[in-house]
């Protein structure tokens, strides 16, 4: 089922550590002309283990109120809704993502942890199973670098390229389209294909500065290294088999190791990119 034209940017709030997610999600919602929907889940079983039954519910309401205030401070005039659901967070976000324009969550401390991250981590599960693009926000603010998108030539990666063009336009940022190839591949031929693909999405009158870069190496390593200087990195959930519950090795590596916010693009075929009150070029590069 296609998402409605006023589908919201949905934020999964687990704790105060997720407040940086609210700021970036509010900017995305404003840029796309979408409302912001803040969602927190509440477990009555855990409430009975607390000092008082009312305490966890009170904390959830305070978290939603603080997040809504932060969203309005970040983007005055933004439509913000808050909701507390008596359910587990992961299945609730997966279900709600089917009707969302974009889902935003924190990274659970993945970036820079240097530790093995379990596949059950919420951000990883959502990247594999969500019904819309997923924005994973880091705790540290990103640099004001380019918008980076990894392209491998698959149809899924071209949907990521489509989203990246829109993203760069709204951020008034440079777009860097990166293709990593094997050592025996013809880089000139691949570069021509990438340039043609980018031109199809930007059009003749495009004002977004773009760069196509083709390099040899390991795709995950190259993208992670390049993302250190990007304000956001985009990648398809899986290039060769974009089915539900499937997450490719490159997307997974970016989630685990990139210091930049990551957008895992999926579900675009059923969701329009633009909202009714789209604003372009809102943030300037230094």
- Residues near 194 by Cβ (< 8 Å), separated by ≥ 6? 151, 177, 179, 212, 214
The H or E element spanning position 32 is helix 19-32
Average pLDDT of the segment spanning 98-102: 95
Tens-place pLDDT, residues 225-247: 999 999 999 999 875 544 555 68
Integer angstrom CA distances of residue 55 from 17, 48, 52: 19, 10, 5
pLDDT digits (tens, 9 = 90+) for 83-97: 999 888 999 999 999
Average pLDDT over residues 30-58: 79
What average pLDDT does this structure show over 162-176?
A: 93
Question: Which residues are CB-contacts of 125 (< 8 A; sequence separation ≥ 6)?
Answer: 90, 94, 119
Q: Of 112 and 124, which is predicted with more confidence?
A: 124
Average pLDDT, the chain: 85
Structure tokens at 29: 């919602």
Amino acid 56: pLDDT: 74
223 neighbors 233 (Cβ within 8 angstroms): yes
């Amino acid at each position: 089922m296609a998402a409605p034209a006023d589908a919201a940017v949905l934020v999964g709030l687990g704790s105060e550590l997720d407040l940086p997610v609210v700021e970036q999600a509010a900017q995305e919602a404003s840029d796309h002309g979408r409302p912001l929907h803040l969602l927190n889940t509440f477990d009555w079983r855990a409430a009975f283990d607390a000092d008082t039954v009312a305490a966890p519910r009170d904390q959830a309401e305070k978290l939603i109120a603080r997040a809504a205030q932060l969203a309005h401070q970040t983007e005055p005039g933004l439509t913000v809704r808050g909701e507390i659901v008596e359910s587990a967070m992961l299945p609730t976000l997966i279900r709600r993502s089917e009707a969302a324009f974009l889902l935003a969550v924190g990274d659970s401390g993945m970036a820079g942890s240097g530790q093995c991250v379990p596949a059950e981590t919420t951000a990883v599960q959502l990247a594999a199973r969500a019904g819309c693009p997923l924005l994973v926000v880091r705790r540290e603010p990103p640099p004001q670098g380019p918008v980076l998108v990894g392209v491998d030539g698959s149809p899924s990666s071209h949907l990521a390229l489509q989203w990246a063009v829109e993203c760069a336009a709204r951020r008034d940022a440079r777009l860097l389209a990166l293709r990593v190839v094997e050592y025996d591949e013809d880089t000139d031929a691949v570069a021509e294909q990438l340039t043609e693909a980018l031109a199809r999405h930007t059009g003749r009158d495009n004002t977004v500065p773009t760069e196509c870069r083709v390099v040899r190496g390991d795709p995950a390593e190259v993208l992670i290294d390049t993302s250190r200087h990007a304000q956001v990195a985009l990648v398809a959930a899986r290039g060769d088999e974009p089915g539900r519950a499937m997450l490719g090795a490159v997307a997974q590596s970016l989630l685990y190791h990139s210091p930049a916010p990551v957008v895992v693009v999926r579900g675009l075929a059923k969701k329009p990119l633009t909202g009714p009150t789209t604003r372009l070029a809102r943030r300037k590069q230094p």
